[in-house]
Amino acid sequence: DTGVSQNPRHKITKRGQNVTFRCDPISEHNRLYWYRQTLGQGPEFLTYFQNEAQLEKSRLLSDRFSAERPKGSFSTLEIQRTEQGDSAMYLCASSLEGRRAVNSPLHFGNGTRLTVT
């Protein structure tokens, strides 16, 4: 178990640019989640996948945000035309859910900190 890996750790970009983050979950985990966290706040849910299927997307999520998990393994989160309000920590988490693993906790990566200037 090497844990959830997120890249890059830090990203500084100019307003209007596109950015993409990558998440590699724990290898046997079938569920993958994306959260956003701003300073002094709890993580805010963005979206989650079971295998390659995107099961839920937050209504708060702008259409500038898109996430994929094409082969049911790693995932990418893309933000198009970034705005200063997108500056935050983007957290990825994974879990194993199934008959032998019910209500499993989420295992988080260390996040990607995005700064939009």
Partner 1 sequence: AQSVAQPEDQVNVAEGNPLTVKCTYSVSGNPYLFWYVQYPNRGLQFLLKYITGDNLVKGSYGFEAEFNKSQTSFHLKKPSALVSDSALYFCAVRPFEIGGKLIFGQGTELSVKP
Binding map of partner 1 across residues 49-68, x = CB under 8 A, - = no contact: ------xx------------
Burial label for 58, CB within 10 Å (0-12, 13-18, 19+), is middle
Shortest CB 13 distance to partner 1, Å: 19
**What is the spatial order of strands in the sheet that 5-7 belongs to?**
5-7, 19-24, 75-79, 65-68
- Determine, following the binding rule CB under 8 A, whether residue 25 of this chain makes contact with partner 1: no
- Determine, following the binding rule CB under 8 A, whether residue 23 of this chain makes contact with partner 1: no
- Determine, following the binding rule CB under 8 A, whether residue 8 of this chain makes contact with partner 1: no
∠ CA(53), CA(74), CA(114), 5° rounding?
105
Beta carbons of 38 and 115 less than 8 angstroms apart: no
Beta carbons of 82 and 19 less than 8 angstroms apart: yes
- Determine, following the binding rule CB under 8 A, whether residue 93 of this chain makes contact with partner 1: yes
- Determine, following the binding rule CB under 8 A, whether residue 28 of this chain makes contact with partner 1: no
Binding-site ranges for partner 1 (CB under 8 A): 4, 31, 33, 40-45, 48, 55-56, 91, 93, 95, 97, 102-111, 113
